[in-house]
Chain A
Amino acid sequence: MLSEALLENETIAGLVAAHPTAVLGGVTQFDEITLTIEPGEIVATLAYLKYHQKFDRLSTVTAVDRYPLDPRFEIVYHLQSVGRNVRLRLRASVATEIASATIVYSGANWYEREVFDLFGVVFTGHPNLERIMMPDDWKGHPLRRDFPTHGFKYSYGEQQ
C-alpha cells in the first residue's frame, strides 16, 4: 500500500479520496513518483488527474514486457502538468487488454496504436486500433520479449 510520505502528496491524497480502489501502490525513485493503478480504473484515474489535478499533458504511453511473469505487460503512462510543473508515472499490469485513454487524452491515440502494434496489447474503445509501425500483414509483435531479435524473415512486397 502507499507509504505515508506519498499520501502527504496532495495529488495522490486527492486521487485516493476520489477513487479509493484505483491505487494499488506507489514508489518514489529518483524524485519520480510511480503509482500502480488497478487496470479497470485507469480511465477514471486519468480523467480525475486531468480534470481535477491539471495534468494537461499525456507525455507518452508505452509498455514493458515482464515475460514470463503473469500478467506480463505493464502499461506505463507519463503525465505532466505544465502549470504546476510536476510529472507523474502510472502503471497498470495487464495480460491482454486495457481500456483506451483516448477518451481523456486524444494524444494517446498513436501511442496506444504503437503499443498494440509492437506488444499486441488491445486497447478497448480505441477509435482506430491498427498497426502503425509494422506492415499491415506482419505476423507477431516485435517488442515482445519472446520475439527473436534476429533471423525473422519478411518479404517486402514480393509475391508469396
Chain B
Amino acid sequence: MSETIVEHQESEAGTTRRMTLNMGPQHPSTHGVLRVVLELDGEFIQKARPEIGYLHTGIEKQCEALNWQQIITLTDRVDYLANLSNNLCYSLAVEKLLGLEIPPKAQWMRVLLAELTRIGSHLVWLGTHALDMGAMTMFFLTFREREELMKLFEMISGQRLMTSYIRIGGLALDPPRGWEKLVRAFLADFPSKIDEYETLLNNNPIWLRRTKGIGVISVESMLDVGITGPVIRAAGIPLDARKMTPYSSYEKFDFAVPTSTDNDVYARYAVRVAEMRESLKIVQQAMDGMPEGPTRADAHRLVLPEREKMKTQMEALIYHFKIVTEGIAVPEGEVFQVVESPRGELGYYVVSDGTAKPLRVHMRTPSFGNLQGLPRLIENRQIADAIAVMGSLDFVLGDCDR
C-alpha cells in the first residue's frame, strides 16, 4: 500500500531524517485512486505532490467517436456521485448549440433533480469525511438517507447511479405515478435528519479540534489555483453559477448561497450542511410550483418521440429511426456551459463542426481544479491534518481524471 524512502541529511542542528511517504493510490482516505507523494520531516509535510490519472478513462476521446445523444451515458460516469449535474450540463450545452426551447416542466424537474443530487453527494461526503476523522456513526446515518434518494432515482430512471435521465431536449421519461409522494415524504423527513447530524458533530470535541483552523489559505491563492464550490464559498466568496449565470430557470427559485469567512475545514462542513438545507428549500419550491405540460421539447427532428407515438404513428417511427441511426446534426459553433455541481464549477466546452458527432467535448471539472490546490493546503502541516483537508475538498477521482 505504501512504501517509504528515508534519507539522512546533514544539517547544522545534527542529522535529520527526511522521509518520502507514498500515500495511495489505494489509501481509503483518498476517496478513489489518488496518489500523494509526501516529503515528511517528522510529522510535518514539507512537500506534497498529488499524482492523478489512475482513473483516466479517455471519456473526452470517446465523446468524439459517439453520437451527440450517446454521450449522455458517458457524462454519468464523469462524476459518479453527481451524475445528474453532468447530464444537465452537457444537455444544456448541446441545447444551446441547437437553439432548443425546453418546456417549463422539464426545466423544473431538472432543477429538482440537480438539487436532490447535491443532497445525495453531500451526504456521501459528510459520511466519508466524518469516517476519516473517526466518527464512524455518521457514515451509517448519511448512507441511510442516501438510500432514500437512490430509491427516488431508481424509480424515475431504473438506475441508482448512472441515471442518464436528463437528455438533450428534456427528460428521458415522465416521472412515474407516486414518485411525488415519495419526494414529499423525503422532504418532510430529511430536515430532522440534518439536525441529527449536527447534534452528533457540532459539539463533538474531537471533530472540532480536528477541523477548526485547519487548511486555511488566502482567498487570492484559491482563486489563482482554480478552487471552486463550497471550498471557496467557505472562504467568503459567493461564487455560485446558479446565482451568477442562472440556467434551467434557477432565477425563479428563492434560495441563499451559504458562505462563511472562517476558511477552515469546519467552515466547509458548515457551508455544505447549510447548502443541504437550501437545496431542500429549492426542492420544496419545485414540487409546489411544478408546471403542467410535456417534459420534452417539441422538435421531432431532434428529440426522440414518445414510445406510444412511435408505435402508432408512421412519421414518429420514421423520425425515431432517423435519429437513432443517423444521429442529430448540431450546427457549427462552440459553447461553454457552466453549472454548479455539488463540488464546484462544472463546465462543458462543446465544439461542433456541424456533423452528427462533436469535434471536441472538454469537461472543466471541479475536482481537477480543487485537487490542484491540495499541496498549498497541506504543506507545512501535520500529516493528520492532510486527511482532514483532503476530505474537506470533496474530490471525486472520476471527475478529476475523466
Contact = CB atoms under 8 A, between A and B. Distances in A.
Interface of A: 29-30, 32, 34, 56-60, 62, 64-65, 76, 78, 82, 85, 87, 89, 105-107, 109-110, 118, 131-135, 142-143, 145, 147, 149
Nearest to A82: B239
A92 to B, nearest CB: 15
Given A59-B226, A109-B372, A149-B62, 13 more contacts: A34-B334, A57-B223, A57-B226, A62-B349, A62-B360, A64-B359, A82-B239, A106-B225, A107-B225, A107-B226, A107-B369, A132-B52, A134-B53
B123 to A, nearest CB: 28
A82 B237 contact: yes
B176 interface: no
Interface in B55-87: 56, 58, 60-62, 64-65
Considering the complex of A and B, which 10 residue pairs feature the smallest CB-CB distances, nearest first?
A107-B226, A60-B364, A133-B56, A62-B362, A133-B53, A149-B65, A107-B225, A64-B360, A110-B372, A56-B223
A64 B352 CA distance: 11
B244 A29 contact: no
Given A85-B244, A107-B225, A30 B349 contact: no
Contacts of A149: 61-62, 64-65
B90 interface: no
A89 B336 contact: yes
A33 to B, nearest CB: 11
Interface string B238-281: 01000011000000000000000000000000000000000000
Contacts of A78: 336, 347, 349, 364
A60 to B, nearest CB: 4
B368 A110 contact: yes
A131 B401 CA distance: 13
A30 B237 contact: no
B223 A143 contact: no
Nearest to A56: B223
A64 B360 CA distance: 6
22 contacts: A29-B334, A29-B335, A30-B96, A30-B333, A57-B226, A60-B349, A64-B359, A64-B360, A65-B360, A78-B347, A82-B223, A87-B336, A87-B338, A110-B368, A131-B53, A133-B52, A133-B53, A133-B401, A134-B53, A143-B61, A147-B61, A149-B61
Given A110-B372, A142-B58, A59 B364 contact: yes
Given A59-B347, A60-B349, A107-B226, A32 B336 contact: yes
Given A62-B349, A106-B224, A107-B226, A32 B335 contact: yes
A113 to B, nearest CB: 10
Contacts of B58: 142
B394 interface: no
Interface in B330-373: 333-336, 338, 345, 347, 349, 351, 359-360, 362, 364, 368-369, 372
B376 to A, nearest CB: 9
B386 to A, nearest CB: 19
A107 B334 contact: no
Nearest to A106: B224
A110 B244 CA distance: 26
B176 to A, nearest CB: 35
Interface in B207-254: 220, 223-226, 237, 239, 244-245
A69 to B, nearest CB: 11
A59 B345 contact: yes
A128 B364 CA distance: 21
B349 A76 contact: yes
A82 B364 CA distance: 17
Contact of B61 (A56, A135, A142): A142
Contacts of A29: 333-335
A76 B350 CA distance: 12
Nearest to B99: A30
B231 to A, nearest CB: 14
A135 B345 CA distance: 28
B349 A58 contact: no
Contacts of A132: 52-53
A59 B363 CA distance: 11
Contacts of A30: 96-97, 333, 335
A58 B53 CA distance: 22
Nearest to B365: A60
Contacts of B333: 29-30
